[in-house]
Structure 1
Amino acid sequence: MEDVQNYSPAVPLNIDRAGIRELKLPLLVRDRSDGTQRTVALVDLGVDLPSAFKGAHMSRFVEALNAWDDEINYQSVRRLLENIKNRLGAQRAYARFCFPYFIRKTAPASCSKSSVPYECRLTGELDENGQSFLLEMDVPVMTVCPCSRAISRDSAHSQRAIVRMNVRMAGFSWLEEFIEMAEESGSSAVYTLLKREDEKFVTEHAFAHPAFVEDVVRNVAQRLFAHEHVEWFSVEVESMESIHSHNAFARIERSVNRAAAGQQHGESP
């Protein structure tokens, strides 16, 4: 049959990335407590397309993904990317998995258990220079405003904030490690199920640990600097302000120099 994709295009320009987006796929993810957990991912796949070709063979992305069916990790994603490169004759291949990851959390006072979802994204790219691996996640926390806490006699405004982390790593790390970093950096973690005694505990704990978004982003960055596998990170904290009509945010991005990180956490060399 006629292969139109291999025709010469009317406009002969190289395309950086062409492919498919938001293909839904069952996914197996490593779980620190239970070994693995099953979730559902939206998957983007792409390749570079030279100027000599009119289009990419989109069905071959789906074939590669159907043949993969693996637990997601550095080695398995590399196998998928190599398969995509070979099937499409590409120099560069790209895969991105967006999925909810669930942690079963225990309420601090009643010990009630419930699952909390965290939005995660994992991106792999493979070219002649090797493979890159980027982990992204959104972690909700609670913050209490230190200014409001200082000037108010009996109260202060509080709100939910989102810690958004992007991390490049040199080795395997549990998703839970980074989630815990974020939750320990705010005024309090958030929960799905809280009884009255839990609400009392969480509120009192949060008011005893007020934090600006600037405090939270610095706290997370300090922990990422200290992590043995982190090579580069960006972290942004956005506060959904409860008494303002706008949000507040703060962001830090750094490459981690292991020799310098032991001496100084504030700035990269």
Structure 2
Amino acid sequence: MIPVCDVQNRKNETGFSLTKVGVTGVRKLVHVKRPDEHCNEPLVCMIDVFVDLPAEQKGSHMSRNLEVIRAVVSECTEEPTTGIEDLATMIGKMLLEKHEYAKFSNVNIVAEYFKDNVTPHGKNTTEVYRLFGKAKCERDGGITKTIGVEAVGMTACPCAQENVAQTLNCSKEWPVITHNQRNVCTVYMSMDNSCMVEADDLIDLINSSFSSPTFEVLKRDDEAAVVINAHRNPKFVEDMVRDVLKKIVDEYTELPDDVEVVVKSESEESIHKHNAFAERTATLGELRN
């Protein structure tokens, strides 16, 4: 039998280490079961995994990444994972076992998630959101996991509303017309592996911060209610970020100060050809101060 040459283990001559080497876009069906009946359903996940590569090594063993993903996801078929951020942590730790030359691993997972909701007039509906789970695992045992969600809602511009009210000399009995935006809001929370945050709670927190949540199907009474509610609650993209930050500080009093929070809000403008964007990155301790 001709011996197989391990090209990856050959010496690299250029002298540069690499921070991330791996595979992207691996699709897997993952079984998730959260406490208290949160998210007890399979999720179609897109998984990216990486390890660092030392300067002296020519290549990373890519097939090990797929073997790790398959092994961990297979375990979740027998016993569902508690969340995609926990799945990312499990994959990240096993990557370091398989890649003995790596100092750390990074895992990113994205999934579509369907959550039950209720329209303003009480009709049941199911809306789609995006979930994010990330993990950075270090050889010395350090683990940082990230849970994130993305929700789409509606904002109404307070500046245009004020201009219209002054132009038309409107009374304040009813909300004045203004232009609207489809707003995409994303929240990430990065924390120690021992902490836990429910994606459902983050979704509810974001939905409560829009001028109005939006819905896949609206009959006439609900359609009117969404528009009226949004115009009674106009917001800039900056207001969205600040309102979400305030609610996170108020809601997660038990989490430690070193939890990192990222809130992004992007409004797809209706009267402009550009979008409006706002973002804040800070630790909970900084926000509390």
User: If the length of structure 2 is used for normalisation, what is the TM-score?
Assistant: 0.84
How many angstroms does 1:82 deviate by?
A: 2.0
User: Which position in structure 1 is the counterpart of 2:149?
Assistant: 137
How many angstroms does 1:158 deviate by?
A: 1.2
- SS of structure 2 residue aligned to 1:103: strand
Alpha-carbon distance between aligned partners in 2 of 1:33 and 1:160, rounded to the nearest angstrom: 30
Which of the residues 47, 56, 65 maps onto 1:61?
A: 65
CA gap of 1:76–1:211, structure 2 versus 1, over 3 A, is closer
Q: Give yes or no for the alignment of 1:5 onto 2:8.
A: yes
User: Which position in structure 2 is the counterpart of 1:147?
Assistant: 159
User: If the length of structure 1 is used for normalisation, what is the TM-score?
Assistant: 0.89
Is the 1:27–1:72 contact (alpha carbons within 8 Å) kept by the matching residues of 2? Answer: no
Moved more, 212-221 or 26-35: 26-35
User: Which position in structure 1 is the counterpart of 2:272?
Assistant: 244
Alpha-carbon distance between aligned partners in 2 of 1:126 and 1:53, rounded to the nearest angstrom: 21
Is the 1:25–1:42 contact (alpha carbons within 8 Å) kept by the matching residues of 2? Answer: yes
How many angstroms does 1:191 deviate by?
A: 0.9
Q: Aligned letter for 1:235?
A: V
Alpha-carbon distance between aligned partners in 1 of 2:191 and 2:41, rounded to the nearest angstrom: 22
Which of the residues 17, 35, 43 maps onto 2:47?
A: 43
CA gap of 1:82–1:211, structure 2 versus 1, over 3 A, is same
Alpha-carbon distance between aligned partners in 1 of 2:54 and 2:71, rounded to the nearest angstrom: 25
Is the 2:89–2:134 contact (alpha carbons within 8 Å) kept by the matching residues of 1? Answer: no
Is the 2:13–2:56 contact (alpha carbons within 8 Å) kept by the matching residues of 1? Answer: no
User: Which position in structure 2 is the counterpart of 1:267?
Assistant: none
CA gap of 1:163–1:14, structure 2 versus 1, over 3 A, is same
CA gap of 1:72–1:44, structure 2 versus 1, over 3 A, is farther
Alpha-carbon distance between aligned partners in 2 of 1:254 and 1:189, rounded to the nearest angstrom: 26
How many angstroms does 1:35 deviate by?
A: 5.0
Task: Report percent identity of matched pairs.
Answer: 26
User: Which position in structure 2 is the counterpart of 1:253?
Assistant: 281
CA gap of 1:34–1:185, structure 2 versus 1, over 3 A, is closer
User: Which position in structure 1 is the counterpart of 2:167?
Assistant: none
How many angstroms does 1:156 deviate by?
A: 1.2
Stretches of structure 1 that go unaligned for 5 or more consecutive residues are: 265-269
Q: CA RMSD in A?
A: 2.0
Moved more, 129-138 or 60-69: 129-138
How many angstroms does 1:8 deviate by?
A: 0.8
User: Which position in structure 2 is the counterpart of 1:182?
Assistant: 206
Q: Aligned letter for 1:157?
A: H
User: Which position in structure 1 is the counterpart of 2:191?
Assistant: 169
Moved more, 138-147 or 150-159: 150-159
Which of the residues 234, 243, 248 maps onto 1:224?
A: 248
Is the 1:112–1:193 contact (alpha carbons within 8 Å) kept by the matching residues of 2? Answer: no
Q: Give yes or no for the alignment of 1:26 onto 2:37.
A: no
Alpha-carbon distance between aligned partners in 1 of 2:240 and 2:233, rounded to the nearest angstrom: 11
User: Which position in structure 1 is the counterpart of 2:116?
Assistant: 104
Alpha-carbon distance between aligned partners in 2 of 1:35 and 1:43, rounded to the nearest angstrom: 19
Stretches of structure 2 that go unaligned for 5 or more consecutive residues are: 165-169, 171-175
CA gap of 1:14–1:191, structure 2 versus 1, over 3 A, is same
**Runs in 1 of length 4+ with deviation above 6 angstroms?**
none
How many angstroms does 1:62 deviate by?
A: 0.8
